[in-house]
Amino acid sequence: MKKIEAIIKPFKLDEVKEALQEVGIQGITVTEAKGFGRQKGHAELYRGAEYIVDFLPKVKIEIVIGADLVEKAIDAIRRAAQTGRIGDGKIFVSNVEEAIRIRTGESGLDAI
Ligand X SMILES: Nc1ncnc2c1ncn2[C@@H]1O[C@H](COP(=O)(O)OP(=O)(O)OP(=O)(O)O)[C@@H](O)[C@H]1O
Q: Which residues bind ligand X (CB under 6 A)?
A: 7, 33, 35-39, 56, 58, 86-90
Name the residue number minimizing CB distance to ligand X.
35
Does 43 sit near Mg ion (CB under 5 A)? no
Among 75, 91, 79, 69, smallest CA distance to 24 is for: 69
Cα 79–Cα 61–Cα 25 angle in degrees, nearest 5: 70
Binding-site residue total for Mg ion (CB under 5 A)?
5
Helices (H), 1-112: 13-23, 70-81
Provide, rounded to whole angstroms, the least separation between the CB of residue 85 and Mg ion: 9
In this structure, is the dihedral angle defined by the CA atoms of residues 7, 12, 16 and 17, taken in order, positive or negative? positive
Residue 56 interface partner, choices ligand X, Mg ion, none, CB cut-off 5-8 Å depending on type: ligand X
- The option from Mg ion, ligand X, none interacting with 82 (CB < 5 to 8 A, set by class) reads none
Contacts to Mg ion by CB under 5 A = 37-39, 86-87
